[in-house]
Amino acid sequence: MRSKYVGTGSGPRPGALREMMRTDHSVPISYWTAWKSREIAIENGRGNAEEAYNTLPSYLQQLAVANPGTLVALETSKGPGGVHRFKYLFLSFGASIKGLEFMRKVVIIDGTHLKGKFAGCLLTASAQDGNYQIFPIAFGIVDSENEQSWTWFFNKLTAVVPDAEDLVFVSDRHTAIYSGIRRVYPAAKHCACLLHLQRNVQTIFKKKHLIYLMGRAARAYKLEDFYLHFNELKQVDIACADYLIRIGLEHWARAHFEGARYNIMTSNLAESLNAALSEAREYPIVPLLEYIRSMMMGWFSARRDAAAKTVGALTSKVTDILTKNFTASTGYAVKHIINHEFEVVDGNGLYHRVDLDHKTCSCKEFEALAIPCAHAVAAAIYGRESVEGKAGEFYSTAFWALAYNGSINPVEQKKVEVYKFGVDGEDGHLRPPATRRPPGRPRKSRIPSRGEFKVSQ
């Protein structure tokens, strides 16, 4: 008899199942029995985890055919008797590759553990669209987050995101990520997630006020503002200041960073993507990929419709930011200097120089975010110029619509001859990786990255 819990997400947790069996059916069972029963029921609904690897090549072939332009790479390892085992997988949908042209050149990198029978890690590369939403670029499935797997993933990613001097990566401080980026993307710039660093500081130095001061210093646009807050932090805890200096100010402080990271100070975007895939991380590999495809299909459809219904020239999120800046600019005194340059005096009596042609302001916010700051808004209104026209083109409704112009299509459910992807063993089958999940219930709490809590006080 098929379990009534199949098809209802992940089903009840083992403890709840055990209690239900005791109260509803008067059958006392152990926690382990409840856990195994739940796993069997889920396997009946989602398919066998081992068999999923054998059908993986055929699924990837159908996925690539249904979605033109999709890039797929499957790496295997050859064992005794010519048996091929799964090693690495890379996937980037054609619609994502097409839409990436309309994104800012900031890529957020992250990895998270899979909770299925054969464990492994899910690697992701994402961007942020003009409406500040997640735009998944590529996915990878590997055995673990090590230097070899990250380097392989980055090598495949270069076909989608080529190396360039104006390219920026944001990630946690995992040593394998740093090493992989240095090898594969030597021209690109790399900065650390502020949130991970703040967790580090809190764990090491045990002072909550340091987190506040560090956040103020990291988000400062001007060097003088950075040092104002950083010197406060230094007075509170000199050891913490030394620790942050050793990391490299350019890795976490916006004022010291040479590239353009815009508003992206953390890897929260990637963390949100992992959260969206939380349930599917327990699935066999093919249902996991199908879950990703279905999720992205829904995202592209919903955002395509949202962009079509947006009336203004800019996305709704950026319009809200400009509205706040307009409110803040009320009462600012503006004087013309020359051409399209203006002097703006804010409510505190501070002087700022705005150049609308070069889209700069002495407060540094305008060029850092590519969104007119309050001073630039006041100058544009005084000069009778379009405020919206001074924002970066990647914030425009037109670019937002073009980013989601492609579609992610379903896979046709039909039997095809196995597409081997280099799987040329004696029987032509692909076996699961040699790694397996440790016995017992998988942990649900987040496992910190290697770079997070390694420094001892």
Write out pLDDT tens, residues 326-339: 999 999 999 999 99
Structure tokens at 309: 């219904």
pLDDT surpasses 60 at 414: no
What is the CB neighbour count within 10 angstroms for residue 364? 17
Residue 416, pLDDT score: 41
Whether residue 384 sits in one domain with residue 296: no
Region of poorest pLDDT, from 35-44, 112-121, 243-252: 35-44
- Note whether residue 375 is domain-resident: yes
Whole-number Å distance between alpha carbons of 226 and 157 = 34
Structure tokens at 393: 């083109």
Strands (E), 84-224: 84-92, 106-113, 121-128, 134-142, 168-171, 189-192
Structure tokens at 358: 């070069």
CA 125 to chain centre: 6
- Note whether residue 445 is domain-resident: no
DSSP assigned state of 93: -
- Note whether residue 362 is domain-resident: yes
- Note whether residue 1 is domain-resident: no
Whether residue 241 sits in one domain with residue 131: yes
Whether residue 323 sits in one domain with residue 252: no
Region of poorest pLDDT, from 67-76, 271-280, 349-358: 271-280
Q: Dihedrals φ, ψ of 434, to 5°?
A: -70, -20
Residue 387, pLDDT score: 96
Whether residue 110 sits in one domain with residue 208: yes
Domain boundary among 390, 416, 432: 390
Residue 454, pLDDT score: 41
Domain boundary among 249, 282, 305: 305
Whether residue 70 sits in one domain with residue 29: no
Whether residue 244 sits in one domain with residue 377: no
- Note whether residue 143 is domain-resident: yes
Report the relative pairing of strands 351-355 and 360-361 from DSSP bridges.
Answer: antiparallel
Whether residue 346 sits in one domain with residue 197: no
Whether residue 71 sits in one domain with residue 30: no
Whether residue 234 sits in one domain with residue 112: yes
Whether residue 297 sits in one domain with residue 337: no
Q: Which residue range forms the structural domain that includes residue 212?
A: 49-305
Whether residue 225 sits in one domain with residue 186: yes
Sign of CA dihedral 132, 138, 142, 144: negative
Whether residue 168 sits in one domain with residue 56: yes
The count of structural domains within the chain is 3
- Note whether residue 218 is domain-resident: yes
